[in-house]
Amino acid sequence: MNAPADIKNVTSGASDQERGYRSFRLGSFGFRRDEYFAHITWKTRDGRPLSHTMDIGHYLQALMRDVAWGFFYGGVNFDPVIGTVNHYKSVDFQAGAFNETMKSAGVDLLENFPVDEIREVFESMLDDWTNEGFDPFAAPQETGSPYGRKRGNNTAAVTRARELADRCVGLKDDLLLRTDERGSPVNRGFADVPQDEPELHPEPGFETEVHAFNLFAFLSRSQVTWNPSFTSVVKYSYMCPTTEEHMLPIMHANDRVEWFFQLSDEIHWDCADKRSGKPLARVIMKPGDMAAMPAYCRHQGFSPKRSMLLVWENGSPNLVYEIQKGDAPEVPVQFD
């Protein structure tokens, strides 16, 4: 039996308007936030209304990565139900398309959007739904609460761009090491990381072409978590170190092989089949461990204390199509 219309406001407290957040549409998906949750709605393939609910803090942390990374490589799953798939010129938003139970029940939906359209909706949603004092890139212990009615915003935090080295880090005109120059403090989790820099003795005339820096000291000052920076780019080989604490707020379904090198501390990974979501492996990584994530898996990391991770990506724009055609492998090595 339907409740009388006026019961709604009695039982749910404030109305959406009073809470102060905007609602959004993307194709046939609807997005609404209240004090604790993001609600995503759609019509199933056979026309029935369905909805999905996520904790708003987790939702904003996932949305922040998707926006800042330009939809990343392959799939960004916010949780086992919703997420995006990057086709580089367009992006899918999907609910249940990589969840075997929902897919076999026929209640999933996937729609494709031009990159600009989905980016604009996501950017506006992230800005409107992020309250003053909450930084979706920060570790949960280092930021305020995402909950409650709308309180201001945090535009500076949600529009910070991924750090990209223009040239070899530390050389003239490279901007990355400015983080150090700005004097960002060493994170509490890395108080024991030595801050001394390597000695350099370039031959006369090569002073502006030879450089070395202490990567551990650089990373120890990172203000964000789960945000790989492009620290070296050699053709399509991207070295992307990052500092991690709490959990990667997305399950990444890569469209190519990706390597992890655990530089310090510990990360536990859940790996699952990227199409069905069926669990595949638990990978416990300790300092010095390396792992390769095959292109058919999705993965989510858990870092009990702040740790340093080097993510190594092959950024070739052709690789995804080579894998689709069977010309490149989905795994890093094939054993006969």
Among 154, 242, 264, 303, binds ligand PHB (CB under 6 A): 242
Say whether residue 78 binds ligand PHB (CB under 6 A).
Answer: no
Give me the sign of the Cα torsion angle 108, 113, 119, 124. negative
> How many Cα atoms sit within 13 Å of 118 on the Cβ side?
26
Taking the least distance from each CB to ligand PHB, the nearer of 31 and 226 is 226
**Strand-strand pairing, 267-273 and 258-262:** unpaired
Over the window 257 to 286, marking each residue x when it contacts Fe ion by CB under 5 A and - when it does not, the resulting string is: -x----------------------------
Angle among Cα 106, 111, 112 to the nearest 5 degrees reads 150
Residues composing the chain: 336
Of 197, 223, 210, 216, the C-alpha closest to 167 is 210
Q: Is 246 in the site for ligand PHB (CB under 6 A)?
A: no
Tally the C-alpha atoms within 13 A of residue 115's C-alpha that lie toward its C-beta: 11
Asked if 248 touches ligand PHB (CB under 6 A), the answer is yes
228 binds ligand PHB (CB under 6 A): yes
Beta strands 290-293 and 237-247 are unpaired
- Of the pair 146, 277, the CB lying nearest Fe ion is at 277
In this complex, which beta carbon is closest to ligand PHB, that of residue 16 or of residue 266? 266
Distance separating alpha carbons of residues 144 and 140, to the nearest angstrom = 8
DSSP-based helix, strand, coil % in the chain, nearest 5: 20, 30, 50
- Residue 33 or 252 with smaller CB distance to Fe ion: 252
Contacting ligand PHB within 257-296 (CB under 6 A): 258
Task: Please check whether residue 222 is in contact with residue 244, taking contact to mean a CB–CB distance below 8 angstroms.
Answer: no
**Is residue 85 a contact residue for ligand PHB (CB under 6 A)?**
no
Residue 252 engages ligand PHB in binding (rule: CB under 6 A): yes
Nearer to ligand PHB among residue 41 and residue 316 (C-beta): 316
**What residues between 239 and 258 interact with Fe ion by CB under 5 A?**
252, 254, 258
Question: Considering the complex, what minimum distance in angstroms separates the CB of residue 332 from ligand PHB?
Answer: 14
Nearest CB to ligand PHB, comparing residues 311 and 328: 311
Q: Cβ(260)–Cβ(311) under 8 Å?
A: yes
Q: Which residues bind Fe ion (CB under 5 A)?
A: 252, 254, 258
Q: Which residues bind ligand PHB (CB under 6 A)?
A: 226-228, 242, 244, 248, 252, 258, 309, 311
